[in-house]
Amino acid sequence: MSLSPSTPATAVSVELPMERGASLRSFNSFGLPSNAQTLVRIRSTADVRRVVDHPELGRAPKFVLGGGSNLVLTRDVPACVLKMEIEGIRLLHTHEDAWVVEAGAGVVWHDLVAWCLDHGLPGLENMALIPGTVGAAPVQNIGAYGVELKDRFESLDAVDLVTGRTVTLDAAQCRFGYRDSIFKQGLAGKSVITTVRLRLPRPWTPMLGYLELERKVLETGISAPDARQIFDWVCAIRRAKLPDPAVIGNAGSFFKNPVVTAEQCRDIIGRDPHVVHYPLDDGSFKLAAGWLIDACGWKGKSIGRAGVYEKQALVLVNRGGASGAEVVTLARAIQESVYGRFGIRLEPEPVVV
């Protein structure tokens, strides 16, 4: 179609692709049943502004959906669900001490890690295969095998869901913590991340401090692996003990690793000397939630159609046709038994709706 000069250019693009009552089952990695009041696919920053300016959707509550890999849906979502599909990856800057890569919020995180390696840009390899999208990565400051998103972060753009204004935030403004950021606190539900920029330090240095990677170095005799080798190791480690959501519904780690004081840690060691714990810089200790759950005998157990994964007790799985309520019932039972035995309250990592 060709537009005559008098045709407003916006006439062909104002229609927002929206679906009423859309099923979210295939958009959450647990595969839980739930419908959105309205689903809108967001393919650009302009699309977000169009939602904000829309006479009906502008006023509706919003729910931002990335890869749906950190989500437990227990009911229908009475909101305008923004499904983030902003694509695009590019090398933005080459500085002497870093490369800066920019990616759209809808890019699959692992695809970004692979793209960077394919383009000679190492630095994200320890975070290979983390499920979810680039836009969701800063929300919970994803991390694995000794590297967190905040260690590779430059800035992000987010659009305010009330005013439609775009803001750029640096790492300090994002207030990153362990599986935490301002997007889970003060900005929760108030803005949507559209673009993320990552800073990959030059020269690249391998991050091999994590026990399982140290083991790979010993097993293979490769003491100076390149980034591709580390990527392959991380993929192999994850595939060996974490279920593929395409095969078994799950949301990765279901609980955060609890952080306790030195005194609490001594108390827990008194209850079981084998408890896996790591000292943190501030004198507190991080406990392995998977170990605590495993020690309570949950590995491989189920309640209804929700279960605890056989190879990693920190991961809850959908054994087929589970409801969100069944997952929550299982999670509560685990929390109660860990509290009863160790006096520790486990905090869920995924968002429960």
Q: What does the binding site for ligand EPU look like in residue numbers (CB under 6 A)?
A: 144-145, 252-253, 256-257, 276, 288, 290-291, 294, 299, 312-314, 349
Q: Which of 69, 181, 253, 323 is catalytic?
A: 253
Pairing mode, strands 147-148 and 315-318: unpaired
Residue 177 CA: distances (Å) to CA of 134, 139, 144 = 17, 10, 14
Q: Distance between CA 312 and CA 293 in Å, rounded?
A: 10
Q: Which of 179, 197, 199, 238 is catalytic?
A: 179
State which residue, 181 or 253, has the beta carbon closest to ligand EPU. Answer: 253
State which residue, 19 or 294, has the beta carbon closest to ligand EPU. Answer: 294
State which residue, 79 or 308, has the beta carbon closest to ligand EPU. Answer: 308
Q: Distance between CA 142 and CA 148 in Å, rounded?
A: 6
* Cβ atoms of 4 and 48 closer than 8 Å: no
- Residue 349 bears catalytic tag: yes
Minimum distance of ligand EPU from residue 314's CB (angstroms): 4
Amino acid at 252: G
- Residue 337 bears catalytic tag: no
Minimum distance of ligand EPU from residue 218's CB (angstroms): 16
Minimum distance of ligand EPU from residue 257's CB (angstroms): 5
Minimum distance of ligand EPU from residue 227's CB (angstroms): 17
State which residue, 25 or 299, has the beta carbon closest to ligand EPU. Answer: 299
- Residue 253 bears catalytic tag: yes
State which residue, 54 or 299, has the beta carbon closest to ligand EPU. Answer: 299
Q: Which residue has the tokens 């399982």?
A: 212
Minimum distance of ligand EPU from residue 125's CB (angstroms): 13
Residue 349 CA: distances (Å) to CA of 189, 276, 296 = 17, 19, 19
Q: Which of 19, 87, 212, 349 is catalytic?
A: 349
Residue 262: which of 240, 285, 278 has the closest Cα? Answer: 285
Residue 127 is inside which H or E element, if any? none
Q: Distance between CA 275 and CA 270 in Å, rounded?
A: 9
Please report how the helices 109-118 and 227-241 are oriented relative to each other, as an axis angle in degrees rounded to 10: 150
72: helix, coil or strand? strand
Q: Please give the radius of gyration of the chain, using alpha carbons only, rounded to the nearest integer.
A: 22
State which residue, 87 or 180, has the beta carbon closest to ligand EPU. Answer: 180
Q: Distance between CA 193 and CA 64 in Å, rounded?
A: 9
Minimum distance of ligand EPU from residue 79's CB (angstroms): 25
List active site positions: 179, 253, 349
